[in-house]
Amino acid sequence: MKKLIIALLPILALAFASCQQTPDATAKAYQDAIKAGNFEKAKEYVTEGTKQYVDVMATFDGFVAETNYKATVVGKSVIEGDNAKVTVKNANDANSKEETLTLTKVNGKWFVNLEAFNPAEQLPAPQATEETIQDNMEQAADQVQATGEKAADDVKEAAQKAAQNIEQGAQKVQDELKK
C-alpha cells in the first residue's frame, strides 16, 4: 500500500498543479502582483512579448502598491482554443473597476497577453442620446446667438460714439469758422 501511495504522489501532484493553472488564477495572480508593486512577480504571469510592457509600467509613478486592494474574477472566463478572456474586478477602499484581460496558452500554461490589450474595450459605452445631443446643440446655438448679440451691441455702441465724436468735431469746426 505504501508503494502505491508513493507511486501515485507525482501523478497527484502533477494533476493538482495543472488544476491550479487556469486563466482565472493567472489573471488574478497577475493583477495582485501589479497592484502590490511587485513587477518582477507580475512578469512571471505574462507572455514573453509582454514583459517589456510590465517594465514600462514599473516606471510610472501611478503604479504604486495598494494596501486595501482585492482582485476578483467576475463571471466565467471565455476560452477559445489557446486564448482566453478573463474579467477581473479591481477594488480598494476608494473605488472599483472591471478590466478584461486576454490570456494566451503557451506550452500548457496560461499567460496574460498585454500585446492583445485593446484600451477601447475598457472604455464605457457612450451614453449620449438623441436628447442630450439636441440639448448640447441648443446650448451651442444659444452661445453663438449671445455672442452675436453682444458683438452687435458693441458695434452699435461704437457707431454712437463715432457719431458723437463727429458731431463734436463738426461743432468745433463751426465755432472756428464763426471767429
What single-letter amino acid sits at 39? F
How confident is the model over 17-63, as pLDDT tens digits? 444 589 999 999 998 888 888 899 999 999 998 898 888 888 875 55
Round to whole Å and give the CA distance between 72 and 89: 5
pLDDT at 126 over 70: no
Query: Whose CA is closest to 110, among 140, 144, 90, 83?
Result: 83
Look at residue 4 and tell me whether its pLDDT is greater than 50.
Answer: no
Whether this prediction's pTM lies above 0.95 is answered by no
The segment with the largest mean pLDDT, out of 95-99, 100-104, 114-118, 129-133, is 100-104
Cα-Cα-Cα-Cα dihedral sign, residues 93, 97, 98, 103: negative
Segment 94-121 shows an average pLDDT of: 81
Segment 162-170 mean pLDDT: 84
User: What pLDDT is recorded for position 36?
Assistant: 82
Identify the residue with better confidence: 23 or 132: 23
